[in-house]
Amino acid sequence: MLMPARVKFRKQHRGRMKGSAHKGATLAFGEFGLQALGNKWVTARQIEAARVALARYTKKGGKVWVRIFPDKPVSQKPAETRMGKGKGDPAFWVAVVKRGRILFEMEGVTVADAKQAMKVASDKLPLHCQFIERIAV
């Protein structure tokens, strides 16, 4: 599963997800992409599930790029623990995804196959996405 090899600080504030993405909002590698239509945290497990779905659907025929990385730790207190006594330990990692961000890119497959594969992958994610393709100039 995706997670940073090491971080400077173990715990982070939750932060806010206002606005839209500026970096990573255009296709950079492949011909087709999956673009986020909302703001959400995407966990490492969800990213991996979507990646596996893309690889299985294309039968490893095309090339897939994962454009997001879970670098934010989310802490949780154990179940049935009383309030107080500090912040919980890091439980899992998330990627902060803003509206407009490209999540996955793909090339080497037909448009129909790419569209269907991205649909299967978007069903694994907790936010609405749209299929985009590079415009030939």
Q: Dump pLDDT digits (tens) for 62-103.
A: 999 999 999 999 999 999 999 999 999 999 999 999 999 999
Residue 10 scores a pLDDT above 70: yes
In angstroms, rounded to a whole number, what is the distance separating the alpha carbons of residues 100 and 91?
27
pLDDT of 53? 95
Region of 108 on the Ramachandran plot (φ > 0 left; ψ -120 to 50 alpha; else beta): left
Residue 137 has a pLDDT of: 64
